[in-house]
Amino acid sequence: MAALMFNFNVGVLGHVDSGKTSLSKVLSTTASTACFDKNPQSKERGITLDLGFSSFTVDMPDHLCSEYPDLTASKLQYTLVDCPGHASLIRTIIGGAQIIDLMILVIDIVKGMQTQTAECLVIGEITCPKMIVVLNKVDLLPPDKKEAMIEKMKKRMQKTMETTKFAGCPIIPVAARPGGPEGGESDAIGLTDLIETLKTHTYRPKRNPEGPFIFSVDHCFSIRGQGTVMTGTALSGKAVINDTVEIPSMNVNKKIKSIQMFKQPTDKIVQGDRAGVCVTQFDPKQLERGLVCTPGSLPTFGAGIMTVSNIPYYKGAINSKAKFHITTGHETVMAKVTFFGLYEDPNSKDNFITNTAQKDQAEAQQRLPIKQYAFIEYEKPVTCPHNSLVIGSKLDTDIHANMCRIAFHGQLLECFTDSKYLVNNLPKLKVYKTKVREGLVERCQDEYTLIGKNLFKKETNIQSFVGLKVTLSSGEKGVIEGGFGQSGKFKIRIPDGVSKEIQQKYSGTKKKNKNKDSEANQDEQQTDHEPIKIFLTFKRYVFDPEKKMKQS
């Protein structure tokens, strides 16, 4: 039997001072423990420094009742997740966005789109299926131009949304706090339209009570004589009173003593529910924010493999082996990222390529990868579920720069819990670089043997290249047999033999004269025909400890 209350999580995001918290306050009737920021500094400065949670309830909309006959709840509860708008707190925004079902993007109608507004839009595209745009502070517009300015901003936002998955999303003008902080208790403008729009766009998110229980904690405090309360959101599974849960960051298990959802006792919570979970006593300072789960269900790891999708608004460089701020689940840690891709190449069916050969740039540009991946090496271990959302950012970019700092996103495919992953796990990942070396034919020793030059340096150990196949620009194929002399020259065996023409041009049968005229004649003789190039192409597997060269 379904619960009497159906919960729907709404994220309230936007640029700092756009009025997000004012909007959440005027909408909410019930505040949770973490509501409107527990940080005293936020109250002094009037801005949000942490995730705030609050709620309000409405009657169940008719469309939900008709679409989901098994949904027996009579009330719909909206949990508002008020995310900080300040640029330096984007870690908190990303963490909060992963628990929302619908996003309200709050825009100061006087200032329009700002840098962090755009970043919030990017986060919404990554994490959320639906959006409502709120044009706040319409009370600040000149009365005689208000309607025209609202319509102008609506059209501008519609144009902005055209290139996103939120094209055609509703745009609602409001004034959450008319007159600002000094405006007294004036009634908010446009809230009825906003709530009705919110109800219309509410859907039934996928809530799966199966699988391990994972609970995202955003606040923790003690109640003397009762235990320690963790407030947060259930990310997956379900939990009931007397269940045992693990706190991975502390490496301890605790028993659930009681559960409350917005001050109402309940005996269980499922995926998507916002709740306070009271467990046996521990020091709340040890867990300010983190994950709680079914014992043994969350891995802690130092490296992983993720899919990669680039953010088109990010204009910075995304270089392999560069460091990024990697948000995995709800943790943000610096990490070194190695990018690689899967290409449509019959010769590399089960292999991944980190970069294309420099031999032919035009060919390289045509061979775009089917999929992009990355290997992540975290600077400190992280704990999160398999298949978690991963977001790569450059959060050390100047916060005043007018640019998006979110670079790429994807899904965690594999996590390496073994500390010796470089030896035990990575060699199984067939990621390679294609290397192309180019040399020249110096002379033909006999019809099956050529002497080559300029492929290796004098100090190169040519023995490690013996047996590798080469191709001549004239079409012949051969195998490196070994070095020739001490200057980096080498022998090539041509199994099918070289043509008569090549033998004549590169016979090398004339004896060298020591006088300058003879040397000049020899140089002249070598320039009267097109030089034949030697191409050595091989793969070097990035994670192969022996760094061997391999050919198809």
> For residue 430, what are the contacts with CB-CB under 8 A and spacing of at least 6?
350, 351, 352, 541
User: Are 529 and 473 a contacting pair, CB within 8 Å?
Assistant: no
Q: What is the DSSP letter of 346?
A: G
pLDDT at 48: 35
What string of DSSP letters covers 7-43? Answer: EEEEEEEESTTSSHHHHHHHH-SEE-TTTT-S-HHHH
- Between CA 512 and CA 166 the distance in angstroms is 77
User: What are the angstrom distances between the C-alpha of 149 and each of 154, 191, 346, 545?
Assistant: 9, 19, 58, 64
- Between CA 403 and CA 377 the distance in angstroms is 26
- Between CA 58 and CA 8 the distance in angstroms is 11
pLDDT at 511: 46
pLDDT at 451: 93
User: What are the angstrom distances between the C-alpha of 410 and each of 306, 407, 525?
Assistant: 6, 11, 59
pLDDT at 91: 54
User: Are 450 and 504 a contacting pair, CB within 8 Å?
Assistant: no
pLDDT at 89: 43
- Between CA 421 and CA 411 the distance in angstroms is 20
Query: Which pTM value belongs to this model?
Result: 0.72
Q: Which residues of the chain have pLDDT under 50?
A: 1-3, 31-50, 85-89, 346, 348-349, 355-365, 510-514, 516, 519-520, 522-527
pLDDT at 37: 40
Q: What is the DSSP letter of 472?
A: E
pLDDT at 32: 44
> Any alpha helices (H) in 328-437, and if so which ranges?
361-366, 421-424
> For residue 516, what are the contacts with CB-CB under 8 A and spacing of at least 6?
none
User: Are 411 and 389 a contacting pair, CB within 8 Å?
Assistant: yes
User: Are 404 and 501 a contacting pair, CB within 8 Å?
Assistant: no
Question: Domains along the chain?
Answer: 5-201 (3.40.50.300), 214-293 (2.40.30.10), 300-430 (2.40.30.10), 433-507+529-550 (2.40.10.190)
pLDDT at 292: 93
For 122-263, list the strands marked E by DSSP.
131-136, 171-173, 214-223, 227-236, 238-240, 244-247, 252-261
pLDDT at 182: 57
**What's the CA angle centered on 359, arms 354 and 360, to 5 degrees?**
90
pLDDT in tens, 128-182: 899 999 999 999 999 999 999 999 999 999 999 998 999 999 999 999 888 765 5
pLDDT at 545: 80
Q: 214-223 and 290-293 as β-strands: parallel, antiparallel, unpaired?
A: antiparallel
Question: What are 433's two structure tokens?
Answer: 């670089």
> Any alpha helices (H) in 142-264, and if so which ranges?
146-161, 191-200
